[in-house]
A = this chain, B = another copy of it.
């Protein structure tokens, strides 16, 4: 396949659904000239409750869809996929691959003073221990000779609450109080939002935590990392306003409504990307 000059190739972003559009929103603000191809695997979402083996296979298929469309960088905007599949995707493709998890972990290591970091995410993200490993590795790479202590808590109701439109809602505040009550006790000074839906709840979360705790939004940090890589490689697009094409493997009216909420703009192009499957279910 003959590749165009990287400057004019799009940025590829994928997620298990539409949560990754919170990353797209940040990329469009930081890099408004860049074209973006987004793939949301809405036919098979969520990944967060599925097994590691299945998440790996799905993530490789998603990355391949983007790679075949000549993207210059692949952004894995799904925390569950970043936890389990990022190394495989990096091995499979000769272009830069970055994941929300690593971007969030880097920012948390920079932010923490006392080395005590809280992480919230889906069950799969938290169970993978991927944040723990990433935080410790990055701390070591930065030559910071200090102990890092991680307090991880799965918060699986946050995604359905956001998708139900219960944002600054008494029920959401009650759920957040229940989930977050362990963090002040544990003495963390930094909380990492380990799921792409969570930035939508950032103001609710910040109000419940005491002021001393910094809240890290991995969607923003991922966009900043994309910008940094493109700058270093001199791959930034130089003219025009960036386009956004959203491919979904299943389309429903709810997905379109939530997409708009996450993007903070009305998506112009939503296309169906079918899973061409030949399925037999076997013992």
Contact = CB atoms under 8 A, between A and B. Distances in A.
Interface of A: 39, 42-45, 49-51, 54, 61-62, 64-65, 123, 156-157, 159-161, 163-164, 166, 170-171, 174-175, 178, 247, 249-252, 254, 271-283
Nearest to A281: B65
Nearest to A272: B283
Majority secondary structure of chain A interface residues (helix, strand, loop or mixed):
mixed
Given A281-B62, A281-B65, A123 B254 contact: yes
Which residue among A174, A252, A271 has the maximum number of chain B CB atoms within 10 Å of its CB? A252
**Residue among A45, A156, A161, A283 with the most chain B CB within 10 A?**
A283
A262 B4 CA distance: 55
Nearest to A17: B49
A112 to B, nearest CB: 29
Contacts of A171: 157, 171, 174-175, 178
Contacts of A283: 247, 271-273
Nearest to A42: B50
A24 B28 CA distance: 50
Of A249, A274, A279, most B-chain CB atoms within 10 Å: A279
A279 B54 CA distance: 13
Contact of A160 (B61, B160, B273, B274): B160
Contacts of A49: 45, 252, 254
Contacts of A274: 281-282
